[in-house]
Amino acid sequence: LSNVRNIRQNFAVARWAVQKHIDFVTAHEFMPCTGDEELDKRLSDFVAMASEKDNFDVSGRHDRRRWMRIAEGCRLIDGDVFGLRVRGGYLQAIESDRVKNPDLMSDLVSDENPIANSPWTNGIKNDDTNRPISYAVWSRTEASQQMEYDRSIKASAVIPFGFYDRFDQIRGISP
């Protein structure tokens, strides 16, 4: 993953190809077609307001267009990225490398902790039908390049955004 990210940053042709892909995939506008011009205008105005960076991204840094461009780049390079639904209608991005199996040998896992008794696959706990139940999210530590287990998030709060080519696939895989 770090090699691919490095190539994207340092190889001009690869960067150009990624940017062109993003241009074609994310270049769209919301266009309501209800047949009622007044309703269409109100819907467009609402989406425009909700798409502003202070109303869309929980960090307040990215409007909907930029957020989608960054997410598509992550999806293309990393294989997937996740959107966490946050109270208030915001989205928080969870990058691919932050979703991984919890360390079952760590002191964070105990008999009282439900993650100790369930199998995880690439950071996702699934039920018998392969439906996601929860995601194990890790945080980057400030002191080093290490990661530490942060928390398990219910699948109903997560929007997976990745390249999926098979029915049984659990995580996205970069093309």
Q: pLDDT class for 107, splitting at 50, 70, 90?
A: very low
Residue 83 bridge partners (DSSP): 93, 159
Q: What is the pLDDT at residue 141?
A: 84
Cβ contact 63:52 at 8 Å? yes
6-15 residue pLDDT tens = 776 777 887 7
Q: What is the pLDDT at residue 108?
A: 47
Q: Does pLDDT of 100 surpass 80?
A: yes
Q: CB under 8 Å to 51, separation ≥6 — which residues?
A: 30, 63, 64, 65
